[in-house]
Chain A
C-alpha cells in the first residue's frame, strides 16, 4: 500500500508569493494533519482535518489555510510568504480523528528567498 504522499518534494518561492502544498493520505485514512518543522526543531501543529471539516488549528497566522477534499486528500495554502515560513511541511494521516498515531509523509521542503 502507498504511504502518505506529498507534492512537491521541494520548492523555492519568493517573499510575498503564495504556495499550495498537496497531500494524499493512506487509503482508508480519513484524517489529515499538517505540521511545520523548522530546521533543528520538532514539528509544530498547523491543522487537522477529518471528514472535510477542520478539527483543530495551531498557533499560525491566517495566512495559513487548508482544506480536505471528498477523497480525503488535502491542500495547505500559505499566502504572503515570509522568510520565516521556510521549513519542512509534513502531512500526516490517521484512520480517524482522536488519539491515534499518525503516519507521516516525507514532507515538502519550502524555501522562501
Chain B
C-alpha cells in the first residue's frame, strides 16, 4: 500500500540533543499529523497541522506544515530517554476521502 517517505529511518542520539525528522509526499495534503508509537501500543497523536506554513508546538515538540503541502517536519528539542519510539507522519489528501496515509516511520533511540 501507499506510504509516505520518512527520513531518517532510524537514529541514535544522545540525551539532551535536538532531533529533526521529515516526511515527504508526491501528493498534496490538506492535513498533516504526527504520531508516536511505543512497542505493543497504538500510535499517540502528538501534533496536528491544518494549514500550509503552519508551525505548531507541543512542549518540546515542534512541527511544520510545508508550504508546498507535500512535506512536513518534526523537531524534538532536548531529547530525553522517554522520547524513544517510532514516529509516524500521516497525511490526508484533498481527494475527498477521509483516509490518512502514514509514513514508513522514524525509529528514535536515545542514549542516556
The answer to whether A and B interact is yes
A residues bordering B, Cβ < 8 Å?
4, 31, 33, 35, 41-45, 48, 50, 55-56, 58-59, 90, 92, 97-107
Could you tell me the distance in whole angstroms from the C-beta of A65 to the nearest C-beta in chain B? 17
**Alpha-carbon distance A35/B90, docked complex (angstroms):** 12
Chain B count of residues within 8 A CB distance of the other chain: 27
**Alpha-carbon distance A48/B33, docked complex (angstroms):** 17
Once the chains bind, are A42 and B88 in contact (CB under 8 Å)? yes
Q: What are the 9 closest A-B residue pairs judged by CB atoms, nearest first?
A: A42-B102, A104-B42, A45-B99, A99-B31, A101-B48, A44-B1, A56-B97, A56-B98, A101-B45
Once the chains bind, are B45 and A102 in contact (CB under 8 Å)? yes
- Given the complex, which residues of B lie within 8 Å of A106, measured CB to CB? 40-42
Could you tell me the distance in whole angstroms from the C-beta of A15 to the nearest C-beta in chain B? 22
| Chief secondary structure at chain B's binding surface | strand
Once the chains bind, are B101 and A90 in contact (CB under 8 Å)? no
Out of A48, A97, A99, which one reaches B30, CB within 8 Å? A99
Once the chains bind, are A42 and B33 in contact (CB under 8 Å)? no
**Alpha-carbon distance A112/B50, docked complex (angstroms):** 39
Once the chains bind, are B98 and A48 in contact (CB under 8 Å)? yes
- Given the complex, which residues of A lie within 8 Å of B3, measured CB to CB? 41-42, 44
Nearest chain B residue, comparing its CB with the CB of A49: B98
Nearest chain A residue, comparing its CB with the CB of B48: A101
**Alpha-carbon distance A101/B90, docked complex (angstroms):** 10
Once the chains bind, are A99 and B50 in contact (CB under 8 Å)? yes
**Alpha-carbon distance A101/B36, docked complex (angstroms):** 13
**Alpha-carbon distance A68/B75, docked complex (angstroms):** 37
Could you tell me the distance in whole angstroms from the C-beta of A99 to the nearest C-beta in chain B? 4
Once the chains bind, are B41 and A98 in contact (CB under 8 Å)? no
Once the chains bind, are A43 and B102 in contact (CB under 8 Å)? yes
Nearest chain A residue, comparing its CB with the CB of B93: A99
* With A55-B98, A58-B1, A101-B33 as contacts: A90 and B43 at CB distance below 8 Å: yes
Is B11 an interface residue, CB under 8 A from the partner?
A: no
Once the chains bind, are A45 and B101 in contact (CB under 8 Å)? yes
Could you tell me the distance in whole angstroms from the C-beta of A18 to the nearest C-beta in chain B? 23
